[in-house]
Amino acid sequence: MVHRHPAAARCSKRLTAATGLPLQSTVTKWVLSPGNYQRWRLDWKAKVALEVLEELEAAWYQGFAPVDVEHTIQNIERQYVNLAQWMQKSGIRASDRACFAFTFPVEASLSSSSSPSSSSSAGKDNEDEVEDDEQDDDVKEAAEYAGTTAGRKRPIEVAFRSSKAQRPLSSGVFSPVAACKLEYEMKTIHDRYESEQTKRICAVQGERFRADGEKWKSEVERYKAGAAKAQMQAERARAATEQRKSEIEQDRCGMAFKVEGLASRHELAEKGVPFEEIDKIKLCEAGLMGIGKRN
């Protein structure tokens, strides 16, 4: 790779987030693999491009040319140069948090006037000084190589328009536009399936809640019927109690007549006592009062 700085190695993983294109993502992963970039620097560009194209075709991304791979790697090199210079200028050492302060454009610009400068502050330990020296060497190496290939660098979008994307394709080969359309259609179908599945789940849950509601309603009706039946039984028991109470009162009145030596109403009627007189006498009340006094 262009440099060996720990923070730059971690920051370089964010290069794929710049575009989201399959070519950019595949080439970046290939560059970050151990030993691949050294082969690229040894002018094995044609073989390297074919290997990257094989990886793209294995992932069902077709329609790219070797020149697309070369331009993408050169673009990543420029981004590495900017990253290394920014890290040296800011004095960053293996800090993941500091990586998020650096942005990775799709087409990085490298001004020829900016030259890396090495600096080491007093009071640093030997490990920091060695790290600074390695960083300076990496920046110089990257800047020199970027200068030699500056005339052959193009953006990824230009490479797409001038390569396979504009040339007629044979049968069975997808262009980037067709691949994008296919991916969009697959995503649309997946989203539609998810929405339909969600609707079915909601419908099943709704039916379940409705069934639970009907069951709860039937339970309430059954409870109301049981309560009404219990109330009717209570009314019957109360009526029977009142009837039994009146019977007990009559028996007590009869006992009072016999205890007091008084005749009953029937006996008085048989003896010819008028009913009005019988009502005035109120033998039952008098007999009960007599029983109460003796008790």
Averaged pLDDT in 10-residue chunks for the chain of 295 residues: 47 49 67 65 70 73 72 71 65 52 41 34 38 48 45 41 41 52 69 77 82 86 89 92 83 56 66 68 52 43
CB 1 within 8 A of CB 90: no
pLDDT at 234: 92
- Count Cα atoms within 13 angstroms, Cβ side, for 97: 0
| Angle between helical axes of 66-90 and 22-32 (0-180°, round to 10) | 60
What the block records as the tokens of 103 is 């942005």
CB 21 within 8 A of CB 69: no
117 Cβ neighbours under 8 A, 6+ residues apart? 88
Residue with tokens 């190589």: 145
Kindly report whether the global pTM for this prediction surpasses the value 0.75: no
Burial grade of 152 (CB within 10 A; 0-12, 13-18, 19 or more):
exposed
Terminal alpha carbon distance of the chain: 121
pLDDT at 144: 46
pLDDT at 245: 85
25 Cβ neighbours under 8 A, 6+ residues apart? 16
